[in-house]
Structure 1
Amino acid sequence: MEMPHCLVLSSLLLALAPLAHAADFVVESPDVREGEVLAPAFVLKGAGCNGSNTSPRLDWKNPPAGTRSFAVTVHDLDAPGDAGFWHWLVVNIPAKTYLLDHGASNGGLPAGALQIRNDYGRAGYGGPCPPPGQLHRYEFTVWALKTDKLKIETSAGGALAGFMIKQNALGQAKLTAKYER
């Protein structure tokens, strides 16, 4: 038996509704511009790089319905190996928070937020510092999560944190910038 066209269309619209709302979830930054080169302020200070190692300001809006907390990650998509390189992981950001200010990784996070160990081996922001002569892309992602808190230790690392974030994600908003030295 064939479904009436109006029923098929209405089922399709209902299925696409969450996707349409998720598309409204966006992240913006006065410090990071889509497709542009990161300024020295956000580059690692050390390992041959001479940046200031300051986390950039990130603002987001229109998270999906049911968001109970946020996570923020910065991931090098072009690092050698299959897992890339985690530069910053912040979880348990309260649902009423809609920005992390410039330098938030150095004591400016909202109450309850937790920084996870990055691939430099410490909890906090570690700016880009690709090998000389290589251009890398850095994905700044804000994740809307369906849980108030992820049960994770600061020493957990990017692989476990990334897994837990993705398992609890309702949506994500991204900015991708690049850096070459």
Structure 2
Amino acid sequence: MAFTLTSPAFQNGQPIPDRHARRGDNLSPFLEWNDPPPGTQSYVLVMEDTDAASQASRHWVVYDIGGDRRHLAEGRSSKARTEDLPHGFNDFGNLHYDGPDQHPGDKPHTYRFRLAALGIAKLPIGSEPDALVVWQAARENMLGEAELIGTYG
């Protein structure tokens, strides 16, 4: 089977519910994954807006997720309650999940959740890095990648 990332909150390519939006409850969605590549020791998760005006806007980054883990619970990465996993700074300058956002007149945006399976247990980066630093370090140690696409707006 293939390495997959899914959510009971929305199907791949479908709208992300308002409860997961910045202007809604801003709850990180429940995510689960199956069939990681052999040798996986940890994971990195990044959520990005692929339709952002200048470049992909990263809304969430979690790293050093244990290799035996197969899910992240809903709402475990919010401003009030950040799960005991290291988070990098997103492009809003926060160390937590910031959900999809829509500005007046915007067309719907596409949001990509990317889960990288890594062959190392800990990324060789400092504490509280930004999302780009985390993803670049992950790419150097990646065994495989799974993604889930959602839309908002």
State TM-score, norm by structure 2: 0.91
Give the whole-Å Cα distance in 1 for the aligned partners of 2:112 and 2:150: 7
Q: RMSD of the TM alignment (CA)? A: 1.5
Normalized per residue, the structure richer in helix is 1
Inter-partner Cα distance in structure 1 for 2:5 and 2:119: 18
Corresponding residue SS for 2:95: coil
Q: Please name the residue that 1:160 is paired with.
A: 133
Partner of 2:37: 64
C-alpha offsets along residues 91-136 of structure 1, whole Å, 9 cap, x if unaligned? 0000110000111214463x5x211100010111001113322211
Equivalent in 7, 13, 27 of residue 54 of structure 1: 27
Report if the CA contact (8 A) 2:43-2:117 is conserved: yes
Gaps of 5+ in 2: none
Question: Does the aligned pair in 2 maintain the 1:75–1:139 contact within 8 Å?
Answer: yes
Bigger CA radius of gyration: 1
Tell me how far 1:154 sits from its aligned partner: 4.5
Identify the residue that residue 14 of structure 1 maps to in structure 2: none
Unpaired segments ≥5 residues, structure 1: 1-20, 45-49
Task: Find the counterpart in structure 2 of residue 30 from structure 1.
Answer: 8
Q: Which aligned pairs between 1:114-129 and structure 2 lie closer than 5 A? A: 114-129=86-101
Q: Which has the higher contact order (CA 8 A, sep 6+)?
A: 2
Matches within 5 A, 1:60-139: 60-81=33-54, 83-106=55-78, 107=81, 109=83, 111=84, 113-134=85-106, 135-139=108-112
Contact 1:117 1:154 in 2 (8 A): no
Encode CA deviations 1:73-104: one digit per residue, 9 max, x unaligned: 101101011x3100000000001100001112
Count of aligned residue pairs for this structure pair: 150
Q: CA separation in 2, counterparts of 1:131 and 1:124?
A: 21
Change in 2 beyond 3 A, CA 1:77/1:154: farther
**1:147 — aligned with what?**
120
Q: For residues 33 and 87 of structure 1, what CA distance do their matches in structure 2 show?
A: 19
**Does the 8 A contact of 1:123 with 1:154 survive in 2?**
no
1:63–1:126: structure 2 CA closer, same or farther, 3 Å change rule? same
Give percent identity, aligned residues only.
31
TM-score between the two structures when normalised by the length of structure 1: 0.78
* Cα pair distance change 1:158/1:144, threshold 3 Å: same
Does the aligned pair in 2 maintain the 1:69–1:144 contact within 8 Å? Answer: yes
